[in-house]
Each structure stands twice: as C-alpha cells, then as structure tokens.
Amino acid sequence: TGSGRVGGQNSLNAEFGLGDATVIDTLIIEWPSGIIDIYTEVAINQFLTIVEGGEFPEILIQEEELFFDTVYVGNYVSRILTISNIGTDLLFINDIISGNPDFTIDTTNFVIEPSQDQEVNVTFSPD
C-alpha cells in the first residue's frame, strides 16, 4: 500500500542499482489494475514520476557531446544535435540556451511527436 491512513495515498519510491549502465533499455511497470506501462531507453540519474496509464513526453539527446575541433576566430563550424521524444505524448521545446555566446542554435521552439526526432544545428563561432 502507498498510504498510512484510510483514504490517503503516498508515493512509492523505488531505487535501482544499475552498475555501469548508461541507459535503462526497458522499464516495464505492471499495475494492480492490469495496465502495463512500458518505457524504453530511459536515461539514468533522474527521478521519474510515473502515473498509471499516463501519457508523457520523454526527451533523449542523441549526442552527449558535440566536437568542433579547432575553429579560428572569425570562422564557424556547425554540428547536428538530435533531440528525440521517446515518450508517449507531445514534447514541447520552448527554448535552448547556451551559457556560452559563441554557440548558437538555429531552431529553439518546436514540438516533437512521440517516437520522432528533431535535428537542430549548433554553430560554434568564436569571437
């Protein structure tokens, strides 16, 4: 039970040791009602709030790092960053912010459908 009193409910927290894994391939939750929720490619080191039968977006960034090699002042290099929605509902991206003004992103406001990707260009132009 998730409750300490009649008619109430508390969250049930579960923690898992994953060793050196960097992603959870498949997370299957079988609810007492018989509903089964399946999540794939779940990122590690995060807290998830999972609601029975819920529809949620889930973001996955394909590239952990982008390498620009040597770029001289006055020149620029662009790389593709792939953002995926591995969830079951629309993923709304309202802004992408860099802490370094030498990096710009061409598209910062978009919606990704479930099981779809959006590529954005990241440009490095040192001053």
Residues 52-99 pLDDT 10s:
777 788 899 988 899 999 999 999 999 999 999 998 889 999 999 888
Q: Exposed, middle or buried by CB within 10 Å (0-12, 13-18, 19+), for 123?
A: middle
Give the domain ranges of the chain: 1-54, 60-124
Count of alpha carbons within 13 angstroms of residue 14, beta-carbon side: 8
What is the per-residue pLDDT for 104? 94
d(CA 20, CA 3): 34
Q: pLDDT band for position 20 (50/70/90)?
A: confident
